[in-house]
Amino acid sequence: QVQLVESGGGLVQPGGSLRLSCAASGSIFSINDVGWYRQAPGKLRESVATSNSAGTTNYADSVKGRFTISRDNAKNTVYLQMNSLKPEDTGVYYCNAVIMTLTAFRGNYWGQGTQVTVSS
């Protein structure tokens, strides 16, 4: 059993910063690709930032230069540092990870989501 738990969301004023965390727990052998996604009200879920096992990162054009994805493999944790936040960054942010378990099962896992609201 593998779980992803996000934290760090909240209400922030435009121009502010937040750091999201995603901690993976359970029968983990290795964590491969990871990513952060968000879903605004009435919109489809979209990719915000991804990182593969080689450390290659990709960002949505709307967040380039403002958001940074990073990972601490020793802690099985993925982070999303969000700076210069804008009202359009508001949404529920989800963590995603491709994880190989100790029983050699490779699965795609999602966290429960954390709300980010950017408003004055």
Q: What is the pLDDT of residues 80-114, one digit of tens each?
A: 999 999 999 999 999 999 999 998 889 999 999 99
Q: What are phi and psi of 44, to 5 degrees?
A: -75, 155
Q: What is the pLDDT of residues 34-74, one digit of tens each?
A: 999 999 989 999 999 999 989 899 999 999 999 999 999 99
Place of tokens 């901690």: 23
pLDDT value at residue 104: 85
Query: Phi/psi zone of residue 66: left (φ > 0), alpha (ψ -120 to 50 degrees), beta?
Result: alpha
pLDDT value at residue 97: 97
